[in-house]
Amino acid sequence: MIKDNLKNAESHHKLGEGFKKGFEFLKNTDMKNLENGKYQIEGDDIFVSVQDYTTKPQEQGKFEAHKKYADIQFIIKGAEKLGFGDVKNFKPVTFYDEKNDIIFLEGDGDFVNAKEGDFVIFMPEDAHMPCIAQNEPSYVKKAVVKVLLKNIR
């Protein structure tokens, strides 16, 4: 797991061409005015999902993990808390859904706060719990860049 601000994104280009292209999209696009939906950067190898929602209490959250993609979760508006931990320390509660590249897990993790302009990178070895309220539930607009593993160094 890596947490940083978009203004420092270039220091993370070393993670691979997929990350570089994802960060360039985030920096060069008017994210605040982008409609919710899926945007292709490089087909299904690198794409962005824009979504908005109300954060929820931690006890309503679920840890998840992916096998094929890494995530760059970028906060466009608002703030949220995100859980994370080594996937090896979690127990599956569902079967892996290959079509949607997701498995839900249970276990204990650590948490980090992210605000507008921040991003958090989750690699396949990182279980993560997104969409959690820092204090009270609040509005968040987020972009999730999905980077296929072959585009990672």
Question: pLDDT, tens digit, for every residue of 107-119?
Answer: 999 999 999 999 9
Q: What does the DSSP assignment read for 85-150? A: EEGGGSEESS--BTTTTBEEEE---EEEEEETTEEEEE-TTEEEEEEE-SSS--EEEEEEEEEEGG
Question: Which domains does the chain carry?
Answer: 2-151 (2.60.120.370)
pLDDT in tens, 20-72: 999 999 999 999 999 999 999 999 999 999 999 999 999 999 999 999 999 99
pLDDT in tens, 63-97: 999 999 999 999 999 999 999 999 999 999 999 99
**Tokens 């008017």 identify what position?**
30
- Give me the pLDDT at residue 150, please: 81
